[in-house]
Amino acid sequence: MLKNRLIPCLDVKNGRVVKGINFVDLQDAGDPVEQAKIYSEGGADEICFLDITASNENRDTIYEVVEKTSKKCFVPLTVGGGVRSVGDINKLLNCGADKVSINTAAVQNPEVVVESSKKFGSQCIVVAIDAKKNVDMWEIFTHGGRNKTGINAIEFAKKMEESGAGELLVTSMDRDGTQAGYDIELMSKISSKVNIPVIASGGVGNLDHLVDGIKLGNASAVLAASIFHYGKYSIKEAKEYLDSKGIPVRI
């Protein structure tokens, strides 16, 4: 039986983890490789790096980080943030990323999704959708949530499936950082509209939120960042909790 996936996400800036596990025994709390290893040893089903590097000059450091991590972590590694072109995707894959998540570029130029999924296969193309509730629809935002687009997130999700995306990473901007739980309505609407897996993101504050994302939001995978930072919960605890709630997970 196919298991639901639990994906911890690490924010990486200029090659260092800026929000990550703050364990006392960690030699270097900013080393992405070390943190990714802890997650993968704890049973993470995949690891996600979000590159939040501000300046273009420091962009190249993410390639080094991916290269080092992929030599030590043998679960799938997804990298997102600042991916603009087929060339960027190619570079990340060559460094050892297994999947690349595309956000702004997919909205501005959906051809990137068409072209890259043809070239590298749908399995490595994740489209990240950042959406905010706007009266009667969920609207897509780009550039890390700064720019509104007027695009309906649910219709866009369908379009991305048709363009060749292998998975959708759906983040509710209303919930992101609130620890109030996923936007279940958004997740379930998108999940029922498309036939590719949906990864729920944005808003996890406790382990019940993960359960809801799968049970109510129909997500195939649940992504979380801050509950794993500072060691509030470990991956193992989260998986055991999901299991105790009858959700099929890899333990």
Partner 1 sequence: MNISIVDYKSGNISSVINSFKEVAKDKVKIEVTSDLIEIKSSDKVVLPGQGSFKSCVDGLNKINGLVETLNEFAITNKKPLFGICVGLQMFADIGYEETETKGLGWISGKVSKIDNQNGKYKLPHIGWNQINIVKESKIFKGIENNSHMYFVHSYEFIPEDESVIMATTDYSSKIVCAVEKENLFGTQFHPEKSDKLGIKMIENFLSL
Residues near partner 1 (CB under 8 A) are 1-5, 40, 45, 70-71, 74-76, 93-98, 119-124, 166-167, 195-197, 220-221, 250
Six token digits for residue 2: 């196919």
Taking each continuous run of H as one helix and of E as one strand, the counts in the chain are: 9, 11
11 is catalytic: yes
Residues 89 and 116: beta-carbon distance below 8 Å: yes
98 is catalytic: no
Nearer to partner 1, 112 or 173 (CB): 112
Contacts 24+ apart (CB under 8 A), 61-68: 61/14, 61/15, 62/12, 62/15, 62/92, 63/91, 63/92, 63/95, 64/15, 64/95, 65/12, 65/15, 65/32, 65/33, 66/92, 66/95, 66/96, 66/97, 67/95, 67/96, 68/32, 68/33
Half-sphere exposure of 142 (CA within 13 A, CB side): 17
Q: Which of 45, 51, 98, 130 is catalytic?
A: 130
Residues 92 and 107: beta-carbon distance below 8 Å: no
Q: What is the DSSP string of 175-228?
A: TTTT-S---HHHHHHHHHH-SS-EEEES---SHHHHHHHHHTT--SEEEESTTT
Residues 154 and 138: beta-carbon distance below 8 Å: yes
Residue positions annotated with a catalytic role: 11, 130
